[in-house]
Structure 1
Amino acid sequence: MGYAFTSDDVAFLRSDAGIAALTEVNALPLTDATRLRDVGVARRLLGENFAPVVETVLLRRRALSKLDQADGWLFTDDALQQATASTVARHRAQRFKGRDVHDVTCSIGADLQALNEVAARCLGSDLDPVRLAMARNNVPDTLVVRADALRPVSKATAVTADPARRDSSGRRKWHPQDFVPPLDELAEVYAGTDLAVKCAPGIDFAVAPWADEVELVSLDGAVREACLWTRGLATQGVSRRATVIHGTSSWTITDASPDDCPVAPPGEWIIDPDGAVVRAGLVRHYAALHGLWQLDERIAYLSGDKPPAGIRAFRVLEHAHYTEKAIKSLLKTRGIGRLEILVRGLDIDPNTLRRRLKLAGPDEATVVLTRIGAKPVMVLCRAERT
C-alpha cells in the first residue's frame, strides 16, 4: 500500500522547504542494506515530515524505469503502479492528436502528460483530492478539476478513462463491475462520445460488447494493457488490434489482415508470437503476414523456414514424441546442462520438470513442449535473435 499521503503532505512537498528536503534525502543511498540507517537520518533532519519525503524519493526512483519525467513528480504507491508507461501513453495519445480531450480519471497525470503533447486542449479530472494536487504539480500547464467521471463536466470532447482496479487495501479487482468507475456505467454515460478505456490485458473482452475496437499493447516483450476504443476513435473495419513496441520502434497487426494459415509439422524454426498478438487472437493473421504455419490450429506456436526479423526465434534441432523418459535421454545425449522450457497445451510445470530432469552438461538449449492433435510433442531448439 505504501504511505498514505495527505493534501498537507503534497503542499509541503511542493513548497521550497519540501523541495529542499527531497534534495537532501535523495542524496542518501536508501538501499536495502542502508535503509534503516538512512530513514533514521531523515527522521532526525525532518521530524514529522520525514515519511512523505522518504516515500516520494523511493517512488521517484521506482518511476525512472516507467516514466520519462519522474524527476520532480509526486506519486502515491498505487497510482504509480497503475500509471501508464510513458512509451505506451504516447502511443495511445496519438489517436487524440489535434482534438479536445478529457481524461476523466486523470489520477497523478501520467496519461494527461502524453495527451498534452498532441491534443488541441486537455482537461483532467478525478475525485481524489490528493492525486489531483499531485497532477497539478506533475502537469502544471493542464487544467485539472475535481469531478466524478460518471457526471460529465465537459462537452464536445473525446474522453479517456483508466478505471481503478485495486481496492482500498491494494488488492486487485478482477470484475469490471467492481472497477472505479464500473466499466458498464462508464460506457453507458459516454455512449454518444468518442471514448477510450484503458484496462488490464487479461480482461474478458466479452464484458465490453460496446467497444468497437480492442487493442492489446506490449512493451519490450510484456503485454501492458488493453484499450477499448469506441466510435470515432476506433479504426473502421477493425475490431481487434495488437501493437508491439520495442524501444523506439513499433508495429501493429489487425483482424482486417488475411488469416490464411496452414497447419503443418515443425519446420526449421519455432516462433512464439508476442503476447499482444496471442491475447488479441491474431496468431493466424501474424502467421499469414510472415509466411508461417501453425503446428496445431488450437496452439499459438508457429513454425516456418524463415522467422520474422527482429525477434527471438528458436532454430529446430530435432523433434519427437514427448515423454519424460525420452526428453531425459535426449538432453543427456546432447550434454544439455541449461534448459529453457516453453509449454503450451500440456499440463506441465516447467520448474517441476526441470528439477526432475537432473540436467548436466556444458551446452544450453530451449525445449518447446506442446501437442499436435492429441499427441504430446517435444521440439529441441536453439534460441537466436533474428
Structure 2
Amino acid sequence: MAYEFGLDDVAYLASAEGTDALNVTAGLPLTDASLLKDLPALRARYAPREAALVETIRARRRAVGKLDSPDALLLSDTALQQATPSAVAAHRAADIAARHPGGVVHDVTCSIGAELLSLSTAAGLGGVIGSDLDAVRLAMAAHNLRGRPGVQLARADALAPCSRADVVVADPARRSARGRTFRLDELDPPLLELLSVYAGRPMVVKCAPGLDYRMLRDRFSIEVAVQVTSLDGGVREACLWTEAAGLPDRRASVLRTDADGVVRADEYTSTEPDDIDEPGVDEWIVDPDGAVVRAGLVRNYARRHGLRQLDPQIAYLTGAAVPPGARGFRIIDRTAVSERALRSALAAHDCGSLEILVRGLDVDPDRLRRKLKLRGSTPLSLVMTRIGRTGVAFVCEPGVRH
C-alpha cells in the first residue's frame, strides 16, 4: 500500500533539511529487494520521515519519461498515476491558449500541479488558477509551482465554482472501490455534475480513453467535441471540450517523441474527407495509431495517406507504403486461421518467434503462440483478422515503424 502523506511530511520535504535528506535518499537503490537494508539506515537518521523520503524518491523515478524534471517535484505514487504526461498537458495547454488568447484558465482538480506547470508556460494565457479539495496535494502543488508567477492556488470543491475563469479544466478521478472505471457516475467528481455546474462556460474535461462519449450526446443530449490523444503509440486520454463552436466533432492528436526528444504532433479530424478506395489487400498492412481508432477516424486517416481498408468494419489498413510514424507489416503470405494452416505456413517460413496482432477475431495471442510450437529461427509477425465473415491470417515480416 502506498504511503499516505500528511501536511507535516510535505512541509519537511519542501524545507532545506528535507531537500538534503531527499538527496541522500536518492543515492540508495530503494528496490523491493534492497528496502529491508535501506530503511533501517534512513530510519536511524531521518525518523519519522523515512517512509515519506522513500515514497518520494521511488515516485520520482517512476515519473521519469512521464513528467518533466521529476527530481524537482513532490508527488506520491497515486498522484503520479493520475497525472497527465507533461507532453500531453503541454499540447493541450497550447490548444487552450490558441482558442482563448488572453484567457484565465482554472484547473479545478489540480492535484500536485502537473497540468498547471504546462498551463503556466503556455504563451498567450492571461492567468492560471489551481484548486483541489485535498490539502496535501495542494501543498505539493505549491512546492512544485514555486517560482511560477501568476499561478494562484486555492482549496476548493470542484463542484463549487470559486472563480470567473474563462476556461475550466477538470480531471475526474477514474477509480472507484472496484478499481478503474469507465462509468460516468463513478468518476470523482461525477462527470454529469461537473458539466452541469459549469454549463455555459468553456470546459475541458480529461477522461479515460475508453469513455463512451457518444452516450453524452445520445442519452443526455450534451454536445461536446472529443479529442483522443496518444503519446508514443499509447492512447492516454479522451478529452471533452464544451462550448466547442469551431472545433471538429472528433479529433485525434498523435504525439511522438523524435530522436532529439522533441514531441511532434499530427492531428486528424472528422472534418477531413473520408472517401477511400474499395477494400482490398496491398503490399503492407498498417495498424493506425490508437488515438485515430478510438476517435473513429480510420477512414480519414486512410484518405490522407492513400490507404484503404482490408474490411469496412476493421481498423487495419493496407497500401503500397507505410505513413511516417506509423507501424506497418509487409505481407509475405496469406493463410486460413486454423491452427493446422497457421502451423504449416509458419513452418514454411522458418518462423521461430512470432508477434501476433488480432482484430475482429476471438483469439488469445499468447495461448495461440504456445499451441503453434514454433521451431524455426526467423522472427515474423502474424496479423489475424476477418474479411467479410471469413477469418484470414497474414504472415508478415516483423513490424516496423516508419
For normalisation by structure 2, the TM-score amounts to 0.92
Aligned-partner SS, 1:356:
helix
Note if contact 2:279-2:312 (Cα within 8 Å) is conserved in structure 1: no
Match of 1:246 in 2: 256
CA–CA separation in structure 2 for the residues paired with 1:60 and 1:159: 28
The AA in structure 2 aligned to 1:260 is D
Deviations 1:204-240 (A, max 9, x none): 1123332431000000000001100111xx3625100
Aligned-partner SS, 1:134:
helix
Match of 1:122 in 2: 128
Match of 1:341 in 2: 356
Match of 1:350 in 2: 365
CA–CA separation in structure 1 for the residues paired with 2:318 and 2:153: 51
CA–CA separation in structure 2 for the residues paired with 1:156 and 1:63: 30
Note if contact 2:382-2:394 (Cα within 8 Å) is conserved in structure 1: yes
Q: After TM superposition, give the deviation of residue 299 of structure 1 in Å.
A: 0.6
- From 122, 127, 143, the equivalent of 1:137 is 143
Within-5 A mapping of 1:194-205:
194-205=202-213
Note if contact 1:78-1:170 (Cα within 8 Å) is conserved in structure 2: no
Deviations 1:251-299 (A, max 9, x none): 0100101111233231100001000000101111111111111111111
Gap change, CA 1:113 and 1:170, over 3 Å in 2: farther
Deviant stretches of 4+, over 3 Å: none
Within-5 A mapping of 1:180-219:
180-209=188-217, 210-219=222-231
CA–CA separation in structure 1 for the residues paired with 2:24 and 2:165: 46
Gap change, CA 1:156 and 1:49, over 3 Å in 2: closer
Deviates more, 1:260-269 or 1:216-225: 260-269
Note if contact 2:287-2:326 (Cα within 8 Å) is conserved in structure 1: no
Gap change, CA 1:156 and 1:364, over 3 Å in 2: closer
Number of aligned residues: 383
The AA in structure 2 aligned to 1:244 is V
CA–CA separation in structure 1 for the residues paired with 2:54 and 2:383: 46
Aligned-partner SS, 1:264:
coil
The AA in structure 1 aligned to 2:401 is R
Deviations 1:71-121 (A, max 9, x none): 121112211101000000000101222321100100000001100112220
CA–CA separation in structure 1 for the residues paired with 2:96 and 2:314: 36
Match of 2:330 in 1: 315
CA–CA separation in structure 1 for the residues paired with 2:246 and 2:85: 27
Match of 2:260 in 1: none
CA–CA separation in structure 2 for the residues paired with 1:137 and 1:78: 18
Gap change, CA 1:99 and 1:49, over 3 Å in 2: same
Note if contact 1:269-1:306 (Cα within 8 Å) is conserved in structure 2: yes
Match of 1:93 in 2: 93
Percent sequence identity over aligned pairs: 50
Instruction: List runs of 5+ in structure 1 lacking aligned partners.
Output: none
Match of 1:375 in 2: 390
Match of 1:260 in 2: 275
Note if contact 1:211-1:228 (Cα within 8 Å) is conserved in structure 2: no
Q: After TM superposition, give the deviation of residue 340 of structure 1 in Å.
A: 0.7
Match of 1:284 in 2: 299
Aligned-partner SS, 1:208:
helix
Note if contact 2:111-2:138 (Cα within 8 Å) is conserved in structure 1: yes
Q: After TM superposition, give the deviation of residue 156 of structure 1 in Å.
A: 4.2
The AA in structure 1 aligned to 2:391 is P
The reply on whether 1:226 has 2:245 as its aligned counterpart is no
Q: After TM superposition, give the deviation of residue 334 of structure 1 in Å.
A: 1.1
For normalisation by structure 1, the TM-score amounts to 0.96
CA–CA separation in structure 2 for the residues paired with 1:38 and 1:290: 54
CA–CA separation in structure 2 for the residues paired with 1:147 and 1:277: 36
CA–CA separation in structure 2 for the residues paired with 1:21 and 1:322: 59
Q: After TM superposition, give the deviation of residue 53 of structure 1 in Å.
A: 1.1
Match of 1:66 in 2: 66
The reply on whether 1:56 has 2:56 as its aligned counterpart is yes
Aligned-partner SS, 2:228:
strand
Deviates more, 1:97-106 or 1:122-131: 97-106
